[in-house]
Amino acid sequence: MGNLVALRVHLRPGDSILAPADAHIFDNEVGTVSWLAGGFPKPLECDHRPGVPSAETVSAAATATGPYFALRPTLLCLENTHAAAGGAVVTADDSSALVAAARSAGLTTHLDGARIWNAAVHLGVDPGELTSEFDTVQVCLSKGLGAPVGSVVCGSEAFVTEARRVRKMLGGGVRQAGILGAAGLVALERIDRLALDHHHASVLADGLLDRGWTVSPVTTNIVMTPVDNPVDTAESLSAVGIRVLPSRSAVRWMTYSGVSLDDVHCALDRVTDWTSSAQQRAS
């Protein structure tokens, strides 16, 4: 709802919204970018680095013009970290260059910063250094920070005034919100411990590599293992008590505050057992 509220404020029917290919707002928000916010998705090739298009790609898409029936590019949305790219981090320099390219073509900019804390901890910078260039930002207090629920949408006073109206329109009005706010404040005290999750993810990745898995480069708390049949792999891992998320061509393993180093070793032991029993079945 955080992203949706922001996009609904920014977009009008007939607008297109530029975002990196496989962005969460395109693939994982049930198409609301179009049917509730009114924008037509324009995925950008990540030709700069994983999860990050180049400034040239943004400029080309942002300045696209056409006859009266053409879409009108009005908004650039980046994602930091980029989940589908395996938790890839967007640096402050990358953000500045892309925001500048969008802004010089007259576009508004939004950041899907669901995991901005992971990016900030990885880079060793204040989260503000990664967000201040954008017109609006959405951040999650759940995910790695561990609050049961809660996202925050930030922008100018005029934007927030509009955003409150849209939130209400979408059924997101809350009255006794203090208990959620309190959980959110606890979450914000836990930013530094994300470094542990990143360490656990690298231990998991190394262990999977040792066991013969293909593992994409790991930057933060997401480990992507490309496999031939992600759904089958996820199901058989689930049978030994390991929950992973199947995507198109990989399964995704996540670390967060609910996963300890012992849990990681336990999971790796189960992977070993599972692999050897699969080999026995095959032989």
Ligand X SMILES: *Cc1c(COP(=O)(O)O)cnc(C)c1O
- Tell me if 3 contacts ligand X by CB under 6 A: yes
Give the nearest distance from C-beta 218 to ligand X in angstroms: 17
Residue for token pair 């402050």: 92
Give whole-number Cα distances, 31 to 11, 95, 197, 268, in Å. 14, 25, 31, 36
- Tell me if 112 contacts ligand X by CB under 6 A: yes
- Tell me if 9 contacts ligand X by CB under 6 A: no
Give the nearest distance from C-beta 163 to ligand X in angstroms: 15
> What is the rounded distance in angstroms from the CA atom of residue 220 to the CA atom of residue 202?
8
> What is the rounded distance in angstroms from the CA atom of residue 78 to the CA atom of residue 172?
24
A 10 A CB-CB count for 101 gives: 23
Options 16, 74, 151, 219; binder of ligand X; rule CB under 6 A: 151
Per-residue mark of binding to ligand X, 18-37 (x: CB under 6 A): ------x-------------
Options 52, 98, 111, 114; binder of ligand X; rule CB under 6 A: 114
Give the nearest distance from C-beta 271 to ligand X in angstroms: 25
Residues composing the chain: 283
Name the token pair of 18: 């530029």
Give the nearest distance from C-beta 213 to ligand X in angstroms: 23
Nearby residues of 88 by Cβ (< 8 Å), 6 or more positions away? 49, 50, 51, 52, 81, 82, 219
> What is the rounded distance in angstroms from the CA atom of residue 79 to the CA atom of residue 61?
17
20 vs 207 by CB, closer to ligand X = 20
> What is the rounded distance in angstroms from the CA atom of residue 15 to the CA atom of residue 33?
11
Number of residues that bind ligand X (CB under 6 A): 10
- Tell me if 136 contacts ligand X by CB under 6 A: no
114 vs 196 by CB, closer to ligand X = 114
Give the nearest distance from C-beta 24 to ligand X in angstroms: 3
A 10 A CB-CB count for 267 gives: 21
Helical spans, DSSP H, in 28-106: 32-35, 55-62, 92-104
A 10 A CB-CB count for 88 gives: 24
3 vs 74 by CB, closer to ligand X = 3
Options 62, 75, 83, 102; binder of ligand X; rule CB under 6 A: 83
Options 9, 90, 140, 237; binder of ligand X; rule CB under 6 A: 140
62 vs 84 by CB, closer to ligand X = 84
Give the nearest distance from C-beta 199 to ligand X in angstroms: 21
> What is the rounded distance in angstroms from the CA atom of residue 120 to the CA atom of residue 91?
9
Give the nearest distance from C-beta 108 to ligand X in angstroms: 18
Contact footprint for ligand X (CB under 6 A): 1, 3, 24, 79, 83, 112, 114, 140, 143, 151
